[in-house]
Amino acid sequence: MSRKYNVAILGATGAVGTELLALLEERNFPLGKLKLLASERSAGKSISFAGKDLVIEAVTGSSFDDIDIVLASAGGSISKKWLPIATKAGAISIDNSSAFRMHPDVPLVVPEVNPEAALQHKGIIANPNCTTILMTVAIYPLHQVQPIQRIVVSTYQSASGAGARAMEEVKVQSQAILNGEPAIPEILPYPLAFNLFPHNSPMTENSYCEEEMKMVNETRKIIGDHDIRITATCVRVPVLRAHSEAINLEFAHPFNPDKAREILATASGVELVEDFTKNYFPMPIDASGKDDVLVGRIRQDVSHPNGLELWICGDQIRKGAALNAVQIAELLIAKSLI
């Protein structure tokens, strides 16, 4: 009989926590016991899973005593508080927050890119930022053929990146505007319905916001090239779910678009979507609910002989968060490392 694993979801009531539950059931994850952990405010409520109602528990110091795997998606401060306790209890934590991503002893893993890094964990494995995951899945197959020297990326990030409440806020704001009423922001700093604004994460000293610097620093760590030049502009757009990115890649020599298309058509975690005759390329509405990152509009950069342009869309909640975490857990199980 194959082994079963006791799993705890830390942050079970959020958008990513909900997706984690769906994926565990959908992918027939070898579950023993499933424990749902959240704040005291949510404790006592129940969530349906595989035809059963599971009661949410408030996280405590003993919550991880019988747990093999912790899938954490409750924010950086929560992860910093509880994941070291989970590690001491013998659990392996896969963390969706930014708390440990740049820690030198914590692997930052995208299974399609650097699966071997997961094997070097010391109890905690970090899930990268959503935009970084989607981009690295799409560009790494090209980087393996000819190393990328520079990346210029602009993101078009949906409300889902700010959580379930932000998604609901966009719906409410949209209805208000259609009714001739003001769109009042509560979760996001500005109205997002029928609007967009640069990503509102805190600004750093170099005038890039934290979200943009995550893409710079995390991509270097995942790919294993700390000399690659990267610049990012991150924008929040009035889309409910799935992020989009316009990516410009610079190589030492020209990269034929047809060769890039051929490589990406068979790359793991990628789906090639493009029809130049119909001007049909990846869209958030098509990427929502899908595992793969949709890639298309591959073309020569007319401003640079060694430049290549890509357009991608990916489900931020799924591959950009929950699915990547579950895939890391599956990778460890396949290697008999849990």
Tens digits of pLDDT across the chain (338 residues): 489 999 999 999 988 999 999 999 999 999 999 999 998 888 999 999 988 999 999 999 999 999 999 999 999 999 999 999 999 999 999 999 999 999 999 999 999 999 999 999 999 999 999 999 999 999 999 999 999 999 999 999 999 999 889 999 999 999 999 999 999 999 999 999 999 999 999 999 999 999 999 999 999 999 999 999 999 999 999 999 999 999 999 999 999 999 999 999 999 999 999 999 999 999 999 999 999 999 999 999 999 999 999 999 999 999 999 999 999 999 999 988 78
Q: Which of 130, 209, 234, 313 is catalytic?
A: 130
With 0-12 / 13-18 / 19 or more C-beta atoms within 10 angstroms meaning exposed / middle / buried, residue 51 is exposed
Report whether 210 belongs to an annotated binding site.
yes
Report whether 15 belongs to an annotated binding site.
yes
Report whether 157 belongs to an annotated binding site.
yes
Q: How far is CA 272 from the centre of its chain?
A: 19
* Catalytic-residue membership of 143: no
* Catalytic-residue membership of 130: yes
Q: Which of 121, 143, 199, 243 is catalytic?
A: 243
Beta strands 31-38 and 57-58, pairing class: parallel
Structure tokens at 180: 């001739």
Report whether 162 belongs to an annotated binding site.
no
78, 81, 85, 91 alpha-carbon torsion, rounded to 10°:
30
The answer to whether 94 touches 329, Cβ cutoff 8 Å, is yes
Report whether 316 belongs to an annotated binding site.
yes
- Single pTM value for the model: 0.95
Report whether 126 belongs to an annotated binding site.
no
Residues 6+ apart with CB under 8 A from 280: 273, 274
CA distance 139 to 267: 10
CA distance 237 to 250: 26
Report whether 244 belongs to an annotated binding site.
no
What are the backbone dihedrals phi and psi of residue 336, each rounded to the nearest 5 degrees, phi first? 55, 40
